[in-house]
Amino acid sequence: MQSNKWDNVVRRRAFLKGLGVAGAMLPAGALLATGVRALTSGDTAVLRFLAAAEILETDLWQQYNELGGVNGGNASYMAALQNLDGDMPQYITDNTDDEVSHADFLNAYLKSRGADPVNLDEFRALPSSQATGARQVGRLTNLQKLVVDTSFYTRYRSSENPDLGGIFAQAVKIVNEPAIPLNDTDTPPATGQPVPPVTTAARRMQAIANTASFHFGYIEQGGASLYSSMALKVRDLEVLRIVISIGGVETDHFSLWHDKLGNAVAQPLAGDRGDVSRSKQPGDRALPDQQDPARADRFPQEWAS
Ligand SMILES: [Fe+2]
Ligand SMILES: [Fe+2]
């Protein structure tokens, strides 16, 4: 079990520091007897909040990994992702591994400092995708009908500062769209994925992969800014070290996905339409081309001026 592994890692680190503390949760009085300093309530709250966020991240990345990771089960989805970058399945699997370790480490660390770990198992009630490759288990997150906030894409290209009231437009519109294949009728799993996609099924799957690429960046920019915000709120130096260390990994994740998603809004994979609405335009759901200088509306107003 992953969590046992991290319990052992945290316990070993504590022992090497001369504390010799068992990793099991201990009440404050017992902690004092062992020489362990209990966390402040604020540090505990920050770590538990981050552990919950990591459990959610793990849940969504596991769904991507089952379908499109290095051992992914949906060939067409993997091919569409690889149209964005040949290493996409490997990156997806690596990112998933990171999130599992973040969640397990934070929970093991909480226990080692006498605090309650986080468990969200009772909320694993959302249905899995029915597409080939998806495990049929309860989920915490829904990747089948996503509204993706893409304003991070414009924020990092803006001269405005969000701390000074800057407001940033959506780079592309992604409203109630899937980021993973829904079922084999909608997207047959053996469909070829030429570049650019030609058939309705291939365009559909490419649009799903392109949507995923923006969701990857969206999730990880959230993680990156979350950790840098929380680092300012903790008191214990060891907790600070943990927060800035995991935060650095989240920033690396964002940088990686920001690079990849650029291919979803550039030819030959970008579409010529300004939205990805499948309900209005079946088969015509690719993201707009943000690189085409002939498109006056390709950037938000601020950029065009
Ligand atoms: Fe993480
Ligand atoms: Fe992450």
Nearest-5° angle of CA 16, CA 45, CA 223? 85
How far does the centroid of ligand 2 lie from the alpha carbon of residue 140, in Å? Answer: 16
How far does the centroid of ligand 2 lie from the alpha carbon of residue 15, in Å? Answer: 29
Q: Tell me the one-letter amino acid at 19.
A: L
Mean of pLDDT over the chain: 85
Lowest mean pLDDT among 16-30, 55-69, 89-103: 16-30
How far does the centroid of ligand 1 lie from the alpha carbon of residue 151, in Å? Answer: 21
| DSSP H helices in the chain | 2-16, 28-34, 41-68, 75-84, 88-112, 151-155, 200-231, 237-261, 301-304
The tens digit of pLDDT for each residue in 251-276 reads 999 999 999 988 888 888 876 543 44
The fold of 38-304 is Ferritin (1.20.1260)
Domain range summary for the chain, segments of one domain joined by +: 38-304
How far does the centroid of ligand 1 lie from the alpha carbon of residue 195, in Å? Answer: 32
Provide the residue count of the chain.
Answer: 305
For the chain, give me the number of helices (H) and strands (E)? 9, 0
Ligand found nearest the CA of 251: 2
Does the pLDDT value for residue 242 go beyond 90? yes
Does the pLDDT value for residue 290 go beyond 90? no
Determine the longest span between alpha carbons in the chain, in angstroms. Answer: 71
Q: How far apart are CA 286 and CA 273, in angstroms?
A: 7
How far does the centroid of ligand 2 lie from the alpha carbon of residue 47, in Å? Answer: 15
**Predicted structure pTM score:** 0.85
Give the whole-number percent of the chain exceeding pLDDT 70. Answer: 79
Q: Report, as an integer, the average pLDDT of 2-15.
A: 63
Confidence bin at 6 (pLDDT 50/70/90): low
pLDDT at site 18: 45
pLDDT at site 154: 87
Confidence bin at 37 (pLDDT 50/70/90): confident
pLDDT at site 224: 95
Ligand found nearest the CA of 50: 1
Q: Report, as an integer, the average pLDDT of 137-162.
A: 92
